[in-house]
A = this chain, B = another copy of it.
Amino acid sequence: MRMTEETRLPQPDLATVEIGTVLQALADPVRLQIVRLLDTAGEAPCGALELPVGRSTVSHHLRTLRESGLVETHLRGNTRVSRIRREELERRFPGLLASILGAAPAARGGTAADDEEGER
């Protein structure tokens, strides 16, 4: 019964993480959504994340986020609580997280990337 003891899952030193790795991790829609959820929730167990994919897929994405240095995960009893590595990320990539999480949603047809100039 050592509930206060928290074991942290292995994670990389942010100094060894390239910006490209972070961008690649955030490029996936599900992972970006996970980061958004963790941003508003502060921290959350893996199962509490409401996502349109299966449990094993969420687990896989959390692993990717952890290995890219974005998220840390603690073993708290039976559950695994994940959280964004805010301070460390801010030191390594100043302003990055704020600019991404603070981005306003697109006006109309965002992802489509449809070109135009005369608004047919």
Residues in chain A within 8 A of chain B (CB atoms): 8, 10-13, 15-21, 23-24, 26-27, 29, 32, 67-69, 92-96, 98-100, 102-103, 105-111, 113-117
CA–CA, A96 and B19, complex, Å? 12
Given the known A-B contacts A11-B115, A23-B27, A96-B99, are A105 and B16 also in contact in the complex, defined by CB atoms under 8 Å?
no
CB neighbours (8 Å) of A94 from chain B are 99, 102
The residue on B at minimum CB distance from A18 is B110
CA–CA, A108 and B113, complex, Å? 37
Contact indicator B93/A10 (Cβ below 8 Å): no
CA–CA, A18 and B96, complex, Å? 16
- A107 touches which of B16, B21, B27, B108 (Cβ 8 Å): B16
